[in-house]
Structure 1
Amino acid sequence: MTKPLRMGLAGGGPGSFIGAVHVMAAQLDRRIVLAGGVFSRDPVKSAEGAAAYGVKSWPSIDAMLSSGEVDFVCVATPNDSHFAIAQKALTSGVHVMSDKPATLTLAEAKSLRDIVRATGRQYGLTHTYTGYPLVREARQLVADGVLGKVRKIVVEYSQGWLTQAVSNKQADWRTDPSRSGLGGCSGDIGTHAFQLAEFVSGLKATELYADLGRVVPGRALDDDCNILLRYDNGARGVLIASQIAAGDRNGLRLRVYGETGGLDWRQETPNTLTLNRHDGPTEVRHAGSPYLLPVAQAGTRLPAGHPEGYVEAFANLYKDFANQIMIGRATLVPGIEDGVRGMAFVTAAVQSSDRRQWLALKDLI
């Protein structure tokens, strides 16, 4: 067996939700081990994080990168530090797996794209939902022409956890423009919805018209988003993202409609994919089934009827990223181009909402 890759974790210390998920997912297939990290800007909290994971804590990102003990760095910090950490890692010859969005600003994302190209290091972006087997099944069905030409895309991502004014570690940085960037809901979950629609459909959004709201009084960033999209094949789309949808938890849903049928997938019931044919029966595909396409079977660990979920989807990204590092070429892991497009989406959405007009994404990318 090939020696496991060594991961260094930036962020993900006490109070972090996503740090533990990164660690579980990365190590699930035994292709990667957590070597240590810089788990917080606070040295005491960083030491606590290291103790919780049973690994070492470096005093700084520079120390971790110069140690020679990590093959890649996972960036699990708030958005304002993504660029600096990724830049240091890449220019030190260390690969990067980063939380989304890629950076705080579009300008940073473009600069990071130049750095990735110049260094030749691998860069992955954790748009986790692309790791679900049935999302990959849907992508392949569209590519194989099962739906005919795609005509319409509807993607929704509804949460209710910011319905009221909230103050905690997770909410505070996401509602702070200096740490989150231009977008609140649009950057945090809107980028997931935007990328998922492009990933499955194989299309690229060319224009958008956005209506972004700040529903909770005193909130500095958007918490509710309603966006119209136009795609490069002439298809039209609707993207709804909200963090003030009271009672909703993680309501990500994607529907893709073509000339001869449509696909429907929901993240909260991720082990089924519905294929609705215009002149035929409805078909429900189940994760783990032997009839699935090879791309879905490759991302499945359990037989049908044994639910797989978020951690396993995350693990598929890490498994593919490990392969990417070893073979030196791209896999299905979202990369820096997705990162630039995501930041262009947020920037265009904010500007469109302010100006009340359609904006072309190509003018920003």
Structure 2
Amino acid sequence: MKRKLKMGMIGGGKDAFIGAVHRLAANMDGLIELTCGALSVNPEVGYESGKILFLPDNRIYKTYEEMLQKESELPAGEKIDFVTIVTPNFAHFAPAMMALDLGFNVVIEKPITLTLDEAKQLQQKVEETSLTLCLTHTYSGYPMVKQAKQMVKEGAFGEIRKIIVEYPQGWLSTLSEREGNAQAAWRTDPSKTGKSGSMGDIGTHAAQLAEYISGLKITKVCADLNIVVPGRAIDDDGNVLLKFDNGSNGVLIASQIAAGEENALKIKVYGEKGGLEWHQMEPNTLIVKWSNEPAQIFRAGNGYLGSFAKHNVRTPGGHPEGYLEAFANIYRNFALTIDAKLNNESPTPEMLDFPNTYDGIRGMAFIENVVNSSQSDQKWTDFKI
């Protein structure tokens, strides 16, 4: 890499949790620099946020339209290389489309858009422009998740038979959207978050993780979505039975009213010969189970890991790596891919291992199919895209 890639940010001002996470992740490897931003719909907050981040006045923009247009008019080497979109769900599509139209690569928060149709339009635009779009499904960035995926792909467990994935949280156990919690307010507003609450916010993470590790695709769902907290406008809990394209089955649980839980995402995958288990809150450990042998514990940072895990490990074994490092792995792989393309080189498979528009479409289809299934009297509904 001959220079740092230049990033512009849309959303993510001084009071936004996920914007700060993106900036930390992008900065971790020294490959990316924040160059400009339209950091809030409130121009005063946007300007103040830009000054806090030491952006020059002429690179702090009032709107994303102004930012993208003015950046596109700058000389090569001065303009941004890509834009990161960290706004609520309803404000993903328009800036992403405009960025691609003006020649900028895109990083975007999940879920990719508000609707499946918007996601399809984004994929078509990416294909037309040959630009790169990265979707930040954070959990696929963990080294031991990549180890799990590689072991499954190499046939260590034989054909996969069963997948159990659950993501319980407790932060919406009360009606906190009416108690001044800004994050809860937009995430429980259907006009801003989309058709589903719990399944759109965290169920998509669980579904992506199940498909990512197993290499399988969901083909049928049988869903039960619930509004548990009285007065809430959208589901805060749900259970989904799954069928996969190899004939195997699974269970997915996503709940934001599991009082006392933090971010307890966990997955179990079982094949003919054995299985694996991974917990997001203990991310450096992968438990591997065999039918006729003792269980094994794989740990991040060790030499016996596969190439994809090694590519995403940053420290020697025993030095914990967590959420920020996993997030940074996605940014690093995206940056290395962009740099390779800028130099007319082919990115390696390890570089290209980050979520993209295809994952985004699968995520939006998951939301729509689960909602339709929950509203249907049928036991199973086909997973349609």
Residues 9 and 84 in structure 2, CA contact (< 8 A), matched pair in contact too: yes
- Residue in 2 that maps onto 1:53: 53
Shifted more, 113-122 versus 270-279: the winner is 113-122
Residue type matched to 2:81 in 1?
D
Alignment of structure 1 residues 245-256 onto 2, 5 Å: 245-256=258-269
- Residue in 2 that maps onto 1:64: 67
- Residue in 2 that maps onto 1:348: 369
The counterpart of 2:229, out of the listed 204, 208, 216, is 216
User: Structure 1 vs Structure 2: percent identity of aligned residues?
Assistant: 50
| Residue 382 of structure 2 is aligned to residue 360 of structure 1 | yes
Alignment of structure 1 residues 174-253 onto 2, 5 Å: 174-253=187-266
Deviations 1:150-194 (A, max 9, x none): 000000001000000003110000000100000101000000000
Residue type matched to 1:289 in 2?
N
Residue type matched to 1:62 in 2?
E
Following superposition, the deviation at residue 326 of structure 1 comes to: 2.2
Deviations 1:1-54 (A, max 9, x none): 520101111111132111001000001111111112111100011112112222
Deviations 1:81-125 (A, max 9, x none): 100010000011000000000000111111111111111110010
Shifted more, 24-33 versus 112-121: the winner is 112-121
Following superposition, the deviation at residue 324 of structure 1 comes to: 1.8
| Residue 87 of structure 2 is aligned to residue 87 of structure 1 | no
Q: Structure 2: how far apart are the matches of 1:141 and 1:54? A: 44
Residue type matched to 1:142 in 2?
V
Alignment of structure 1 residues 49-198 onto 2, 5 Å: 49-55=49-55, 56-66=59-69, 67=71, 68=74, 69-167=79-177, 168-198=181-211
Q: Structure 1: how far apart are the matches of 2:48 and 2:372? A: 41
- Residue in 1 that maps onto 2:288: 275
Q: Structure 1: how far apart are the matches of 2:124 and 2:303? A: 42
Deviations 1:310-334 (A, max 9, x none): 1100010001001221234671111
Residue type matched to 1:350 in 2?
V
4+ residue segments displaced more than 2 Å = 326-330
The counterpart of 1:314, out of the listed 308, 327, 330, is 327
Residues 64 and 70 in structure 1, CA contact (< 8 A), matched pair in contact too: no
Q: Which secondary structure state, in structure 1, belongs to the residue aligned with residue 97 of structure 2?
A: helix
Residue type matched to 2:184 in 1?
A
Residue type matched to 1:57 in 2?
I
Shifted more, 66-75 versus 145-154: the winner is 66-75
Residues 65 and 95 in structure 2, CA contact (< 8 A), matched pair in contact too: no
| Residue 43 of structure 2 is aligned to residue 43 of structure 1 | yes
Residue type matched to 1:103 in 2?
T
- TM-score normalised to the size of structure 1? 0.98
Residues 144 and 309 in structure 2, CA contact (< 8 A), matched pair in contact too: yes
Q: Structure 2: how far apart are the matches of 1:125 and 1:53? A: 24
- Residue in 1 that maps onto 2:317: 304
Q: Which secondary structure state, in structure 2, belongs to the residue aligned with residue 337 of structure 1?
A: helix
- TM-score normalised to the size of structure 2? 0.93
Q: Structure 2: how far apart are the matches of 1:35 and 1:229? A: 44
Which 5+ residue runs of structure 2 have no aligned equivalent? 342-346
Q: Structure 1: how far apart are the matches of 2:302 and 2:184? A: 39
Q: Structure 2: how far apart are the matches of 1:29 and 1:272? A: 23
Deviations 1:222-269 (A, max 9, x none): 100100010000110100000000000001001100001010000000
Q: Which secondary structure state, in structure 2, belongs to the residue aligned with residue 251 of structure 1?
A: coil
Q: Which secondary structure state, in structure 1, belongs to the residue aligned with residue 92 of structure 2?
A: helix
Residue type matched to 2:357 in 1?
I
- The root-mean-square deviation of aligned C-alpha atoms, in Å, is 1.1
Following superposition, the deviation at residue 63 of structure 1 comes to: 2.3
Q: Structure 2: how far apart are the matches of 1:171 and 1:52? A: 25
Residues 210 and 356 in structure 1, CA contact (< 8 A), matched pair in contact too: no
Q: Structure 1: how far apart are the matches of 2:247 and 2:317? A: 37
- Residue in 1 that maps onto 2:344: none
Residue type matched to 1:189 in 2?
I
Deviations 1:126-170 (A, max 9, x none): 000011000000000000111110000000001000000003110
Shifted more, 185-194 versus 114-123: the winner is 114-123
Q: How many residues align?
A: 363
